[in-house]
Every structure is written in structure tokens, then in C-alpha cells.
Structure 1
Amino acid sequence: MIAVNGSEPQNPLVPSNTNENGGGRVVDRLFAGLRYIDNKGMLHDEVAQSIETTDQQHFLIRLKPGWTFSDGSKVTARSFVDAWNYGALITNAQLQSYTYSPIVGFTDVQADPPRAQTMSGLRVIDDLTFTVDLVAPTIDFRTRLAYAPFYPLPEVAFRDMAAFGQRPIGNGPYRFADGNAWQHDVQLTVVPNESYRGGRPPRNKGLTFVFYSSYDSAYSDLLSDNLDVLDTIPDSALTVFKADLGDRAVQAPTAQNQWIGIQPNVPHFSGEEGRLRAYAISMAIDREAIGQKIFRGSRVPARDYTSRVLPGYNGDLPGSQVLDFNPDEARRMWARANEIAPWSGRFEISYNADGGHQAWVDALANSIRNTLGIEAVGAPYPTFKQLRDKVVSRTVGTPFRYGWQGDYPTMLQFLEPGFLSTSETNDVEYRNPEYDRLIAAAEAAPTEQDSWRLVGEAQSVLLRDLPTIPIFDYINSAGYSKRVDNVTICWNGLADFENLELK
């Protein structure tokens, strides 16, 4: 068994309700979708035999025969259609429901109360064939089909979804280990799924995701070979991990970023006053210095809301100067905001203490305090789940650290969940019809180049409104023990779990 780092999943392990790192890394091991993404970010068909379209709007999908779930039940077209309909239906309150929004009939199942129980754009033809009709051409829909909310579910899941999420039955390369596989707040163990038929078969006998309260503890275990793979080296070890690990130290740019989100109910951060203060805060942060001092260059200043490793990235967008360290302009913006309403209180940045964030959040607070002359501090929550629960319930009450880790390799995947008006994961409640229109146009674009241009225009709108403050892009630092081999960090910053091997 190979021990890898993880964190307690926020929710039961239902693909359409899993939108955070701790749960996501497990769900992706347990399930196989129509397609999968390899460690370099390349797409491959998995359960799909073919995905045909002539217009990026109407799709005919055929499945490979012989696929089963780990309980022996068949994977059929209905396994996909039923799972997607469950995920989209408003009464099921799934966090990833927004991902089905391109499908015809989504607005009917999202109405309150729903006008239908299933999306009319999905139609089962036979056990191995179904069709998907979209509201409009969607240039990255075929790529999205590799994402967790589009995984299939067995019939047993719908009898008791809460119970199913505690011990899911999937069709992926792994299944839950026998016995007490999920020891909450401690660890979760998966073993190879003998019935898996796809292109990422495990080269190991199983994985134990060990849940750590701090990366420092995880790093200590790594050095003593009690942990085999750590995908995030703690700040405290960035100056020594290469010396400690030698050729077992790994660095690679990944599709991950770090943001500071500010919900509109935070005092002084709504309307024009809030926009000016967000500008001031952004320009008061010396991203370059903090990235070098705290992360030894493994974090680089963000230049947009996506990631520099993604196709179409543009680091010189109109409006990106708001991400420059500019103390004089920061103070001018803060003064203009004070003319609207004098500042009171202190600027707190909430973060989860179990994620290795204290040092850089404190450094951000120092930069803001030194530039603007206000009290600025980090505000820790013990766990990621506790912070996320506050963010999702809109009760966090302060700015908070969050970010995005690519689920599939397109810029739209970063921009739609976080900022579309219709997105359930729009944690800052951003609403701008101009932005929504540009994103829709990018999806309907005839070519990728046209889409990238429209994505740039949409990002310029975000940079103008600044609902969230981009901070860093990741150069991921990771390491592994003397017990394992064939360790690769994927495009999204996670280990290539299936290909890990014991020596």
C-alpha cells in the first residue's frame, strides 16, 4: 500500500457534490468517465467508444461494451444519464449542478420548484448509446466529459445517496478497500478495481490517503518514509527540501492558483467603495517578494484568473495592471474609498490552518498593513472543511483565501465555476451580464483562437470589477519517499496516482 497525503473530504463522495481537493482526488480514483485526462493534460476516451458531433451542440455518444461497476452491475447509457439528471435537479442541491447548465432542460430542473425531474436534452437510445443536446454550441464540452460530475452512477446509488457517498461503488481504477476503508479525519484506503477496463490501470496494490492537519506533519512523515508521496512541500521546508530529498524532490508548473475572495456582505466591500478597496488591497500586495521569500519562487505573481500552463493564456490582459505592486496608487484608491465611507475595523484574511497557508497569508497582511496603514491580520480556521462551510453558507464575514485547481485543462474551467451568475460555486456572488455574455460567446466560438480572444475580454471585465483578487500561480513543489518510484506530478498538481510503484 502506498501512503499519499490528503484531507478529509468536505462531503460524502458523490461525484456531482464533490468540488474540493480532498474529495476530488478520491472520487477520480473511484470512477471512470466517458473520457480521462492523462498526467500531461491530454484527453483520451475511457468508457466512450465514440463522441460524435458536427456542430458542438448535438452529440451522439456510444459506450464501449463490457464495462461494469465494482459490484458487478453494468455500466450503461442510463448510468450516465441518470447520474447527470440527479446532479442537475435543484432539490438534490448538488454543489456541481452548474456543470450541466449547457444541456437543454437544465433551467427546468433548476426552477424552484422544478418544472421537470429530468433534462430534456438527454435521451437514451439503447444500453450503449445516448444523445446530448446543448442549448448552444459549447467548444469545450467534449473536454468537460472527463470531469467528475459527468461520471456514471450505479442503480444502487439512487436508493440512498447519502449512504452511497460514505462507501461509493464506482467503475474506476480503484475501489474502497474491504472493512473500514474510510476512517473519518484519519485516512481513506482504496485498492485496485479488478473489473476496471480503461487506460489507467493501477501499477500498485492500493493507496492510503492520509489526512493531515498540517503539511509540516506530512513532511516529517515523508522524511521518515511513513508517507510516500507529498504533493505540497510546506513553506517551512522550501529552503531545504531539495537537499533533504535529493532526486526525490519534484517541481513543475501546474494549473493551480491562489485568490483572495471577498463576499459582498463584508463591511466596506460592496458597491463602488468595495471595488476601490479591492483595487487598493490588490496593489498593496508585493506578490513577487512574497513568492520569493515565502515560497522560494514556487509561487509566481498571478496575471489573470486562470493559469499560465493552460492553452490560450495571456499574461498581459487589459486591466492586469491592478495586479501590479503599486503602493502609491493603492493609497490613492484607499483614500477615494474613504471619501465614500471612512474605514473602520481591521482587514482579516480567513484561511485554513491545515493547508500550509499561514506564512503567506501573514506576509500578505504585512504588505497590506505597511502599504495602507491599516490593521491587517490572518484569521485561521482549524480545517479546510470548517472554512469552506462558512464560505458556502456566506457566513465567513471576512475576506478569505481560496483558489482553483484545474479539473480539466481549459481556461473556461477556471472562469465559469467561480464567476458565472448561474454557478453554485460562485463563492463571491459575482453577477455581471456582460461577463456572462462574453463567456457564452467564448463557448460558442468557431475556433479555439476565437474562444481565447473572448476569454481575454471576459477576464478584463473581471479585472475591472475585481470580485476576487488573484494572488499566485503555482510552481508545484512535491516529494516522495525512498519506498516508491515512477512519481510524476500531473498538470493539475496532483500525483499520477495510478502509476505510482513500490520499489
Structure 2
Amino acid sequence: MRLLPPLLAAVALAACTPAAEPPSPDVLTVGVGEPASLVPAEVRDQAGRTVVSALWTPLPPEAATSPDLLTWTVKPPASRFHDGTPVTAKSYVDTWRLTGGSLGAKEITAVDESTVRIVLDRPAAEIPAKLTAPAFLPLPESVLTSRDWAGFSRHPIGNGPYRLAAPWEPGKGAKLLRDNGNPREIELRVGDPRAHYDAVKAGTLDLATEVPGDRHDAMHADFADRHTMWPLPSAGYLVFPLGDKRFEDAAVRYAFAMAADRAALAKGPLGDQADPAKGALPGDRSATCRPCTHDPAAAKAFAGQGGLSGDVNLYFEPADEAWARALAEQIQGTLGIPVHAKPRHEGTLDGPLAITVQAATPGETVAALTTATGYAGAGFGDLVAAASSATGEEERAQRYRLVENQLLRDLPAAPIWTGHGHAVWSSRVKNAAARPFGGVELAAVSIQN
């Protein structure tokens, strides 16, 4: 048999390969990553947040009210789970007790079928915002009884506008259905973000919920008015061992913080999926964050002032290895001391630790940082209490800025980066928008052919 030359063979094969079909007029096609879990309390990644947001309807902030910020009354809107059972106050109470949603509550009870009572151990004004998080979504009695979390993750039962047509297929995805609205079906396709991006550009996919770093710059030209970015509830910090004499002096902590080239980390190992940190807490900061500034000369001066010398170990969790190793190299190159990046081990660490904090509110971030560092500076607890109990949003923001100022002054943890998400979509997609610290709201998206 006579073989075709390689070039002609490739052309012939391409001619025989069917072209990718454009999306169906009635189906929204969405590219997502593989969720680590679809159990709301276990959701930590962007893919999980995207899918869960379509399967569940969270409590609206106005559902929670309190006369004193200590005793809260929660009135969930009437709804049903996809299995037909009603969502009651008991659904929320049983879910929170079992999954351990952190509210700082002394008491959580179902007063009646439609009322939840929460009694806190200290005043907190962020309760309405916290209750919108995935961890506080209700679960049906069937899984609360069986506790088959693996099975539930494959076929979750929520109370949202969309339901799964069949169990989730790892590596493939699933179909979401709704009884009314546009569209009535969403086809979730698991795959590589690069392939999803190119498919949207080619018109064979409607929406890509992640944009890889090597498409980040092109995104603005390829999808000038059809892309969005939003902050994610994730941030990276370098946590210092405050009990270690080498790090007792804040000058040494400043040296490490200012040796970090955050822009290079964001562009390199973080793959344009993060921004250089501009402060210690979520939200915009008007004042300059001095320790967030890359200043090699100042870093060396602070290291000398603090008497830093000898080898330093910089530890990391497995998920943080890439940027932690790059950060260790930056610090070593700037300060001129050996810095060894090592996996975290059990017990007391003899060097700083790179961590990722998952938190969408200032209060949650403060709690995570104080837990990680054991920091208890003079008057800090009073500042935190005043901020968490402030009733007005503007007053609360101002008080948390005072909390942040002390964190940046004493620097128990150096802010390194904050996460952000990206999405791009085709010209037939309408009403695509992302919720801060969440993702693209699939239930709000419509298609126009």
C-alpha cells in the first residue's frame, strides 16, 4: 500500500476530522475545571464555587437581623430541595451543626419551621455576610442522615434554580436543568482552561470560567467587552514564628516582607491568577502598605538593623510550594543569606511559613491570621472587638482599617498576594457577571441567538 507523505497525510486527516459543533441554541455550554468537591462546606476551588452557586440559593443578607449583634433571627425564604423536600429552619440548623460552619455561636436552634435563632458569644456584625458563604448552604435530610459525602458530591441535591440531570462524571462534567428560564439547560464541560479559552474564541463554547496565565494579556484584545475579573476569597501570607528570637524584632519581619517581589510572583509561579497584595485584609486600601512594597535596599537595611544572619528555613503547605520556593529564592537573593524552602512538618517550625488563607470578610481573615501566628499585640483584641461589633458598614470598614494598620505595623504575617478569577464569553451570552469572592453567576446568564 502506498503511503501518503506526512504533510499530505496530516491534511487528509484534518479534512476527515469533523469540525467542532457550535453550541445548541437552547443550551449554554460552560467550560469548568474539575471540582475537588461539590459538598458546599468542602468547596475551596473556583470550579466548585461555580457549580455550587447554580445548584443552591444562598441566604440573602437581609434574612438575618439582630437588635444587639448578639442574638440573631434568621428567616430563610421558602424553597424546596431538588428531591422535593422542603427547606426548613431545621435544615439549616442540622447542616451547620454537622458541617461545623464557624459562627462563634453559643446556641443555634430552630424556633419554628421558618426561623433560626443564633446566640453568639460576642457581638458580630458580619453574620449576614458570612451566612451567604457556601459553608452555610442547607443540605437535605437524606445526606444528613446517611453522611454519604462521597455519593452526595457526585450527585448533590440543592435548593437552587438548577439541578443535576445525572451524577457528575469526573473528567467530563454534567448537565444542569431548570424548569423555566433562559437557558433551561447548561452543559458543564470539564477540561483544560486553554482549550476552553480557544473554544470560546472559535465559537464552539459559550463561556470559559477560568483563563490561564498565558492567555491573560490576550484576553483584553480577544474579548474586549466580553471578559470579567473578580476578587477571590483567597490570599497568600508569609507567617512568622513570633516565638523565635530571630524574628522577635519587627525589622527582620520587614526585611523578609520587602525582599518579596510580589509582581514577579503573580506573573510567574502564580500564573496571573493573583495580584500583588496591597494590604493585610480584603478590600481596597487608601494608604500605602509599606511592608507590601518591593524595596531591596530597605530590606537589606532592616535585616542589618535586626541582626539577621545564618540559614533560614521557609516552610510551605503542598498547594503553596511553587510560589513559596520562588519567594525563598527572592529573599535569599536580596538579603544574601541561605533560605531553604521545605515542606511543612508537624510540631514547632523554626522559620516562616507560606500559607493560603480562605476568607471573604475582614473578620474571617483576622481570625485566620491570629490563629496562624498567635499574635496578640497590645490593644489588638479591643480593636478587633470594636470592628466586629460596628453596626454601620462605613464605621466597620474604618475600624477594620485600624486593625489592619496594627497588623501591618507589627507584621506577624506579611501579605504576599490576593487571588482573582477570570471569565470570557461568546457574543451570544448575555448578563454574564461575577460575584466578588464567588464567581460567574450561571443562574443569571442568558443566551441570545
TM band (smaller chain): 0.7 to 0.9
Aligned residues of 2:53 and 2:442 also touching (Cα < 8 A): no
Equivalent residue for 2:197?
A: 219
| Structure-2 separation of matches of 1:6 and 1:361 | 27
Name stretches of at least 5 consecutive residues in structure 1 with no aligned partner. 36-42, 89-96, 105-120, 380-386, 422-428
Equivalent residue for 2:286?
A: 315
Aligned-partner residue type, residue 118 of structure 2: V
Q: Residue 415 of structure 2 aligns to a residue in which SS?
A: strand
Equivalent in 74, 87, 100 of residue 61 of structure 1: 74
Equivalent in 246, 251, 255 of residue 273 of structure 1: 246
Equivalent residue for 2:363?
A: 412
**Residues 500 and 342 of structure 1, relative CA distance in 2, 3 Å threshold:** same
| Structure-2 separation of matches of 1:348 and 1:391 | 8
Q: Residue 185 of structure 2 aligns to a residue in which SS?
A: coil
State the Cα distance separating 1:368 from its structure 2 match.
Answer: 3.8
| Structure-2 separation of matches of 1:208 and 1:377 | 42
Equivalent residue for 1:383?
A: none
Equivalent residue for 2:375?
A: 432
Q: Residue 142 of structure 1 aligns to a residue in which SS?
A: helix
**Residues 294 and 483 of structure 1, relative CA distance in 2, 3 Å threshold:** farther
Q: Deviations over 1:212-232 (max 9, x none)?
A: 4xx444434443445432344
**Residues 231 and 413 of structure 1, relative CA distance in 2, 3 Å threshold:** farther
Aligned-partner residue type, residue 156 of structure 1: S
Q: Does 1:206 align with 2:191?
A: no
| Structure-1 separation of matches of 2:395 and 2:219 | 43
Q: Residue 69 of structure 1 aligns to a residue in which SS?
A: coil
| Structure-2 separation of matches of 1:344 and 1:474 | 27
| Structure-2 separation of matches of 1:365 and 1:230 | 34
Aligned residues of 1:303 and 1:316 also touching (Cα < 8 A): no
Aligned-partner residue type, residue 51 of structure 2: V
Equivalent in 452, 458, 461 of residue 397 of structure 2: 452
Aligned-partner residue type, residue 273 of structure 1: R
Q: Deviations over 1:92-131 (max 9, x none)?
A: xxxxx4x222x11xxxxxxxxxxxxxxxx22323222332
Equivalent residue for 2:88?
A: 76
Equivalent residue for 2:42?
A: 17
Equivalent residue for 1:174?
A: 162
Equivalent in 174, 181, 184 of residue 189 of structure 1: 174
Q: Does 1:165 align with 2:166?
A: no
Aligned ranges 1:18-57 → 2 under 5 Å: 18-35=43-60, 43=61, 48=63, 51-57=64-70
| Structure-1 separation of matches of 2:186 and 2:297 | 55
Q: Residue 440 of structure 2 aligns to a residue in which SS?
A: coil
Name stretches of at least 5 consecutive residues in structure 2 with no aligned partner. 1-26
Q: Deviations over 1:74-100 (max 9, x none)?
A: 111111111111123xxxxxxxx4x22
| Structure-2 separation of matches of 1:100 and 1:371 | 42
| Structure-2 separation of matches of 1:15 and 1:304 | 29
Aligned ranges 1:72-471 → 2 under 5 Å: 72-88=84-100, 97=101, 99-101=102-104, 103-104=105-106, 121-161=107-147, 162=149, 163-178=151-166, 181-184=167-170, 186-194=171-179, 203-208=183-188, 210-212=190-192, 215-248=193-226, 250-252=227-229, 254=231, 258-262=235-239, 264=241, 271-274=244-247, 278-287=253-262, 301-308=276-283, 313-316=284-287, 320-335=289-304, 339=308, 342-343=310-311, 367-373=330-336, 399-400=353-354, 402=356, 404=358, 406=360, 410-416=361-367, 418-421=368-371, 429-434=372-377, 435-471=380-416
**Residues 348 and 241 of structure 1, relative CA distance in 2, 3 Å threshold:** farther
Aligned-partner residue type, residue 369 of structure 2: F
Q: Residue 206 of structure 1 aligns to a residue in which SS?
A: strand
Aligned-partner residue type, residue 130 of structure 2: R
Aligned-partner residue type, residue 59 of structure 1: W
Aligned-partner residue type, residue 246 of structure 2: E
State the Cα distance separating 1:257 from its structure 2 match.
Answer: 5.8
**Comparing 468-477 and 151-160, the one that deviates more:** 468-477
Q: Deviations over 1:443-480 (max 9, x none)?
A: 12243344223312322333245344323456755322
| Structure-2 separation of matches of 1:85 and 1:452 | 30
Aligned residues of 2:173 and 2:190 also touching (Cα < 8 A): yes
Aligned residues of 1:33 and 1:151 also touching (Cα < 8 A): yes
Aligned residues of 2:238 and 2:416 also touching (Cα < 8 A): no
Aligned residues of 1:69 and 1:171 also touching (Cα < 8 A): yes
Aligned-partner residue type, residue 218 of structure 2: V
State the Cα distance separating 1:71 from its structure 2 match.
Answer: 0.5
Aligned-partner residue type, residue 489 of structure 1: A
State the Cα distance separating 1:139 from its structure 2 match.
Answer: 1.0
Q: Deviations over 1:284-320 (max 9, x none)?
A: 2344577689999996542212344xxxx43327xx3
**Residues 78 and 419 of structure 1, relative CA distance in 2, 3 Å threshold:** same
**Residues 202 and 405 of structure 1, relative CA distance in 2, 3 Å threshold:** farther
Q: Residue 239 of structure 1 aligns to a residue in which SS?
A: helix
| Structure-2 separation of matches of 1:301 and 1:159 | 44
| Structure-2 separation of matches of 1:449 and 1:276 | 33
Aligned-partner residue type, residue 441 of structure 1: A
Q: Deviations over 1:346-380 (max 9, x none)?
A: x6877759xxx97x87875665454234577999x
Aligned residues of 1:255 and 1:474 also touching (Cα < 8 A): yes
**Residues 290 and 334 of structure 1, relative CA distance in 2, 3 Å threshold:** same
**Residues 223 and 124 of structure 1, relative CA distance in 2, 3 Å threshold:** same
**Residues 159 and 3 of structure 1, relative CA distance in 2, 3 Å threshold:** same
Q: Residue 68 of structure 1 aligns to a residue in which SS?
A: coil
Q: Deviations over 1:314-341 (max 9, x none)?
A: 3327xx31112221221233446664x5
For these two proteins, the number of residue pairs brought into alignment is 415
Aligned residues of 1:204 and 1:500 also touching (Cα < 8 A): no
Q: Residue 58 of structure 2 aligns to a residue in which SS?
A: coil
Aligned residues of 1:251 and 1:477 also touching (Cα < 8 A): yes
State the Cα distance separating 1:487 from its structure 2 match.
Answer: 2.2
Aligned residues of 1:301 and 1:473 also touching (Cα < 8 A): yes
